[in-house]
C-alpha cells in the first residue's frame, strides 16, 4: 500500500522546497532571511552566515533578476540535458542564484524570470527544477 | 618563525598511469627528492602528504612502502590545493622549531575515473543542480569577455603559450605544441572553452624536502629559501561577487607579498593555477602583474612567455604539465626550485632569483574557491 502511494506521488523538484507556486500559480523561489540581522540567503540555511542566529524565516524572493554570467555546457554528467545552459542570476536584495537557463539566446545583463522546467533525465524519469527564462524586451 | 629552505625536490612525469596504484605513483617522487637532497630517508622527522582523491592514509602507505614509516604523518585534503596546503603546514612545523627536516608529498590518480569532467560531491547545492568545474570557470570567462572585451583568440593564446612551454618540459603530460586555430577547433566543452583550454585528466606525484636554517646549508649549499608561505580559505558570499577578480587570490596575494616584504614587481617567474585558459589571465591581475583589464594585452605582448618580463607557467602549467589535483601544488614548487637553481633546461628563466607558486581550488557553493595556498621562494 505504502509503496503504491510512493509510486503515484509526483517526483519532487531537484531543488526541493526552494521553489513553490504563489496564489496566482507563478513560480517563486524561497530563500531565507535572518530574523535577527536581516541577512538573506538562497538556498535557505538553518544558520545565518551574518550572525550565526538560527532564527531564520522563509522568504519569497523577487521573481525577476539580472543575468550576471552564463555558459552553454557540452560536457557534463549524462543525466543533464545538453547543451546545458547555466548561469548566475542576481536578484534584488543581494541574492545570487545558480540556475539552469531555458529557452532562447542569452546575453549578460538580460532580465530573466523564474519558472520550472525539465533540466535532465535519469532512470527515474525527467528531472525538474527551477529555471530562469529571458523576459522579452 | 625560523628560516625554512627547500633542500630537495622530485617528481614523476605527469601522465596517465592506469595500471599503477597511488602508492607506486608516490614513492618514486619521494625517493627522487631524497636523492636530490642527498640525505638518508631516516633524517625525515615528519611528513605532510596532500591528496584530494587518493583515499585514507595515503602518506602512511607511501612511506611504509619505502620502509620510512613510524614518524608523524599528516594527510591533507584541500582539493587542488592539497599538497600546497601540506607545504604550508610543513613550513609552519619547521619554522616553529619543532623539526629540522620534513617531507611534503603531493600525489593523485585521476585516470581511475576514466574521461570527462572530474566527479564532484553532489551534496553541494550548486554541484547538485549541475555545476561542473569547466562551467564555473567558463562563467568567469563569459563575464571577463563582457567586461573587458577579451577575444576568443586571446583566450586561446593562454593554451598556446603553456603548451609551448610544456613541450620543453620532460615532466609534462602534454608535450605537443598547438596553434590558436587548433585550440579553437578542438571539441567544445563549456562555452567559451574548447577542450584544449581545459587542463587534462591525469596522474602524478611530487615531493619536497624542507630543512631548518640550522641544517639546510649542510644538506645543500644552494638551498632555496621560503620567503613566504600562505594558506587561506575563500569567504562565503551569498550575494554579488565579481567573478573576474577572485577574492581568495587577491587577498592571498596581498598577504603573501606583505609576509615576504616583496611586491609583484620582484617576482621573476611564477607558476599559477591555470586550470582553464581564463584562470591564468585572472591571476595576472589578482597578483598585480598587470592592472585590471590588461591581462589579454599582457599575454599577447609576450611579457609572460619565456624570455618575457615575468614568465608565467614555464613548466607548461596545469594546461600542459597536467593537473593531478592533489599533486599540483607540490609540482609547482618543484618547478620553481629548479628554475631558481638554474636546472630548468630549455625552459630556464635566465637569472631567476625570486619565484612564486599559487594553487587554488575547490568548487563549492558560495566561494570563489575553497582553498588557496601561495608561496614565494628566493635563492
B41-63 per-position pLDDT tens digit: 999 999 999 999 999 999 999 99
* Any A CB within 8 A of B65 CB: no
Q: Is the pLDDT of residue A68 over 60?
A: yes
Cα(B354)–Cα(B339) distance, integer angstroms = 9
All residues at 6 or more sequence positions from B154 whose CB lies less than 8 Å from its CB, including other chains: B296, B299, B300
Q: Are strands A64-73 and A111-122 parallel, antiparallel or unpaired?
A: antiparallel
Three-class secondary structure of residue A76 per DSSP: coil
The helix or strand, by DSSP H or E, that contains position B320, with its residue range, turns out to be helix B317-320
Q: Where residue A104 falls among pLDDT bands split at 50, 70, 90? A: confident
Q: Is the pLDDT of residue A134 over 50?
A: yes
Q: Is the pLDDT of residue A3 over 90?
A: no
Cβ separation B129–A80 shorter than 8 A: no
Cα(B251)–Cα(B243) distance, integer angstroms = 14
Which chain B residues contact residue A42 at CB under 8 A?
Answer: 238
Q: Is the pLDDT of residue B16 over 90?
A: yes
Q: Is the pLDDT of residue B101 over 90?
A: yes
Q: Is B171 left (phi over 0), alpha (psi -120 to 50) or beta?
A: alpha
Tens of pLDDT, residue by residue over B274-301, are 999 999 999 999 999 999 999 999 999 9
pLDDT score, position A1: 45
Q: Where residue B250 falls among pLDDT bands split at 50, 70, 90? A: very high
Q: Which triple of cell numbers denotes residue B345?
A: 633546461
Residues of chain B above pLDDT 70, percent: 100
- Rounded mean pLDDT of B159-183? 98
Tens of pLDDT, residue by residue over A7-53, are 557 899 999 999 999 999 999 999 999 999 999 999 999 999 999 99
Closest Cα of chain B to A1: distance in Å?
31
Of A86, A95, A108, nearest to B135 by CB-CB distance is A86
* Any B CB within 8 A of A123 CB: no
Of B119, B129, B236, nearest to A49 by CB-CB distance is B236
Asked if B12 and B202 count as a contact pair (C-beta separation under 8 A), the reply is: no
Q: Which of the residues A31, A41, A73, A117 would you substitute to probe the B interface, choosing the one with the greatest number of B C-beta atoms within 10 Å?
A: A73
As a whole number, the mean pLDDT across chain B is: 97
Closest Cα of chain A to B188: distance in Å?
6
DSSP string covering B173-209, please?
S--S---HHHHHHSPEEETTEEGGGBPPP-EEEEEEE
Of B117, B129, B139, nearest to A71 by CB-CB distance is B139
- Please, what are the domains in chain B? 4-113+202-221 (3.40.47.10), 125-199+229-378 (3.40.47.10)
Closest Cα of chain A to B246: distance in Å?
14
Q: How large is the ipTM? A: 0.94
Q: Where residue B1 falls among pLDDT bands split at 50, 70, 90? A: confident
Report the C-alpha dihedral over residues B18, B21, B22, B25, rounded to 10 degrees.
Answer: -80
Cβ separation A68–B116 shorter than 8 A: no
* Any A CB within 8 A of B128 CB: yes
Nearest-Cα residue of chain B relative to residue A74:
B189
Q: Where residue A6 falls among pLDDT bands split at 50, 70, 90? A: low
Closest Cα of chain A to B143: distance in Å?
5
DSSP string covering B279-308, please?
HHHHHHHHTTSS-TT-HHHHHHTTTTSTTS
Cβ separation B239–A94 shorter than 8 A: yes
Which chain A residues contact residue B243 at CB under 8 A?
Answer: 68-69, 88
Residues of B with a known catalytic role: 80, 323
Cβ separation A88–B139 shorter than 8 A: yes
Residue B99 backbone dihedrals phi, psi, to 5 degrees: -135, 160
Amino acid at each position: 500500500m505504502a509503496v503504491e502511494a510512493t509510486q503515484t506521488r509526483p517526483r519532487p523538484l531537484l531543488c526541493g522546497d526552494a521553489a513553490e507556486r504563489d496564489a496566482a500559480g507563478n513560480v517563486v523561489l524561497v530563500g531565507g532571511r535572518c530574523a535577527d540581522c536581516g541577512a538573506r540567503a538562497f538556498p535557505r540555511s538553518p544558520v545565518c552566515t551574518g550572525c550565526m542566529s538560527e532564527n531564520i524565516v522563509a522568504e519569497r524572493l523577487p521573481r525577476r533578476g539580472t543575468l550576471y554570467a552564463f555558459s552553454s555546457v557540452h560536457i557534463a554528467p549524462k543525466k543533464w540535458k545538453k547543451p546545458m545552459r547555466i548561469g548566475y542570476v542576481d536578484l534584488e536584495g543581494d541574492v545570487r542564484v545558480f540556475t539552469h537557463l531555458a529557452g532562447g539566446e542569452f546575453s549578460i545583463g538580460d532580465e530573466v524570470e523564474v519558472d520550472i522546467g525539465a533540466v535532465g533525465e535519469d532512470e527515474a524519469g525527467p528531472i525538474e527544477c527551477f529555471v530562469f527564462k529571458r523576459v522579452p524586451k | 618563525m625560523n628560516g625554512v629552505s627547500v633542500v630537495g625536490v622530485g617528481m614523476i612525469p605527469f601522465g596517465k598511469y592506469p595500471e599503477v596504484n597511488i602508492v607506486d605513483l608516490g614513492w618514486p617522487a619521494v625517493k627522487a627528492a631524497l636523492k636530490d637532497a642527498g640525505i638518508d630517508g631516516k633524517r625525515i622527522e615528519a611528513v605532510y602528504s596532500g591528496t584530494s582523491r587518493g583515499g585514507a592514509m595515503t602518506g602512511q602507505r607511501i612511506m611504509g612502502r619505502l620502509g620510512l614509516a613510524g614518524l608523524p604523518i599528516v594527510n591533507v585534503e584541500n582539493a587542488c590545493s592539497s599538497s600546497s596546503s601540506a607545504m604550508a603546514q610543513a613550513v609552519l612545523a619547521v619554522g616553529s622549531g619543532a623539526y629540522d627536516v620534513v617531507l611534503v608529498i603531493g600525489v593523485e590518480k585521476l585516470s581511475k575515473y576514466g574521461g570527462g569532467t572530474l566527479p564532484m560531491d553532489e551534496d553541494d547545492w550548486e554541484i547538485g543542480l549541475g555545476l561542473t568545474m569547466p562551467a564555473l570557470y567558463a562563467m568567469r570567462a563569459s563575464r571577463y569577455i563582457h567586461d573587458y572585451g577579451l577575444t576568443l583568440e586571446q583566450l586561446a593564446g593562454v593554451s598556446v603559450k603553456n603548451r609551448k612551454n610544456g613541450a620543453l618540459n620532460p615532466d609534462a603530460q602534454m608535450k605537443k605544441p598547438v596553434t590558436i586555430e587548433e585550440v579553437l577547433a578542438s571539441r567544445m566543452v563549456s562555452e567559451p572553452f574548447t577542450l584544449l583550454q581545459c587542463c587534462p585528466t591525469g596522474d602524478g606525484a611530487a615531493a619536497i624536502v624542507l630543512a631548518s636554517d640550522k641544517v639546510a646549508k649542510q644538506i645543500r649549499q644552494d638551498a632555496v629559501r621560503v620567503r613566504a608561505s600562505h594558506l587561506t580559505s575563500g569567504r562565503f558570499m551569498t550575494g554579488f561577487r565579481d567573478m573576474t577578480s577572485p577574492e581568495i587570490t587577491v587577498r592571498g596575494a596581498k598577504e603573501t607579498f606583505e609576509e615576504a616584504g616583496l611586491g609583484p614587481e620582484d617576482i621573476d617567474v611564477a607558476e599559477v593555477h591555470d586550470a582553464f585558459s581564463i584562470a591564468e589571465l585572472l591571476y595576472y591581475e589578482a597578483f598585480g602583474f598587470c592592472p585590471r583589464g590588461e591581462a589579454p594585452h599582457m599575454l599577447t605582448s609576450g611579457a609572460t612567455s619565456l624570455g618575457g618580463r615575468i614568465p608565467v607557467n614555464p613548466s607548461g602549467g596545469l594546461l600542459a604539465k597536467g593537473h593531478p589535483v592533489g599533486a599540483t601544488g607540490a609540482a609547482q614548487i618543484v618547478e620553481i626550485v629548479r628554475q631558481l637553481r638554474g636546472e630548468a633546461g630549455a625552459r630556464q628563466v635566465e637569472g631567476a632569483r625570486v619565484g612564486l607558486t599559487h594553487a587554488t581550488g575547490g568548487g563549492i557553493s558560495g566561494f570563489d574557491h575553497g582553498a588557496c595556498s601561495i608561496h614565494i621562494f628566493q635563492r
